[in-house]
Amino acid sequence: MAEFTMELNDEQKEVRDWLHGFAADVIRPAAAEWDEREETPWPVIQEAAKVGIYSLDFYAQQYFDPTGLGIPMAMEELFWGDAGIALSVVGTGLAAVGVLANGTEEQIGTWIPQMYGDPNDVKVAAFCSSEPDAGSDVAAMRTRAVYDEAKDEWVINGTKTWATNGGIANVHVVVAVVDPELGSKGHASFIVPAGTPGLAQGQKFKKHGIRASHTAEVILDGVRVPGSCLLGGKEKLDERLARARERAKTGGERVKNAAMATFEASRPAVGAMAVGTARAAYEVALDYAKTREQFGRPIIDNQGVAFQLADMRTSIDAARLLVWRASWMAVNGRPFTAAEGSMSKLFASETAKKVTAQAIQILGGNGYTREYPVERMHRDAAIYTIFEGTSEVQRLVIARTLSGMPIR
């Protein structure tokens, strides 16, 4: 087990500087254009693939970093560049985590490479959990998967929404109900490859922020996938469902469903994304405050501005500490006895919203225009308190963990 440390080793510092350079030289110059176009920045994703950032190998190296700091460090630097483009670069990761968390070794080896493609033909993947009537309340999910034993196929019907890369993905990881009587415990995850009959993209959403990231509905109408596309396999699913039925009869402890397992593993990473956006806005505001003069002196000499910057930096550093702690705990098998993963996402998300708003205030009228990036950063930051569990849901998870109540 790696000891918890706030000091990056030489290899981590080298990776951090490499990522920072890519974010500064490739992502930032393209940010405003792709935000306006509201389209997937395929050229940037391809550049990331060419240098090795958009690849299974890179994320595996960061994911298995024994210190736990590889993924949050990478997320912070990329999202420092731009949240919308960075989400297009890392969005495949949520689907990959879904396969890593629930799939067999054979499924991991088969499907994760197909999620990324290669530098000459990049692909993306989508994790499909939310539905029009089931966002935070995963127990309300209606997408149904029924097993056709004669053909060893699963038949999936339903509509997914808010899916990053939904409809344009080469691989969709779809969470569906297999036993409605078990509520959220009766869910399973399935691989649905592109081109599968019955799979279609619904509406593409025009969003307030992260507009370079493709978000859409995914329609599943009589989709048939082989039994091998059930993540973890049917034997494992049957055993899990049997345990859940027995616990339901005896009133025993609740078990995690596939979607919740994926979100739990990814929440500190989302916190790191928020830290990156907050840090970017803070740096713009700090530079502006040092050079912008009013009444014959830089505005940072005014206590009202200086104190805001002090609070911004303090909150950013505190958020990073929470994210790194949760990431270290997850990698080293430490249980989240106080919902530390949710804590990290909650605090970092709220910090990003507040810091980006403060940055606009410090820049004044300039901050409200698109001539300066803080306006875009503020729009982007709003998503962190919403996706992969709203701030309200994070508080619910934390409160129920502390009280010993079941987490649904």
Active site residues per annotation = 388
The DSSP code sequence of 61-89 is HHHT-TTS-HHHHHHHHHHHH-HHHHHHH
φ, ψ dihedrals at 211, nearest 5°: -75, -15
How far CA 366 is from CA of 78, 167, 229, 363, 369, in Å, comes to 25, 38, 52, 5, 5
**Strand locations in 194-320, DSSP E?**
199-204, 215-226, 293-294, 297-298
Residue 299, SS3 per DSSP: helix
Q: Which residues pair with 176 in a beta bridge?
A: 188
The two structure tokens encoding residue 201: 């993209």
Q: Side-chain half-sphere of 358: how many Cα atoms within 13 Å?
A: 28
Residue 105: C-alpha distances to residues 39, 94, 371, 393 (Å) = 34, 18, 49, 32
Q: Are 248 and 406 in contact (CB under 8 A)?
A: no
Question: What's the alpha-carbon Rg for the chain, to the nearest Å?
Answer: 22
- The three-state secondary structure class of 152 is coil
Residue 287 corresponds to which tokens in the numbers above?
A: 């530079």
Q: Please, are residues 176 and 188 in contact by the beta-carbon 8 Å criterion?
A: yes
- Is 350:297 a contact under the CB 8 Å cutoff? no
Tell me how far apart the alpha carbons of residues 175 and 5 are, in angstroms, rounded to a whole number. Answer: 36
And the tokens for 163?
């899916």
Tell me the DSSP string of 85-136. Answer: HHHHHHTHHHHHHHHHHH--HHHHHHHHHHHHEETTEE--EEEE--BTTBSS
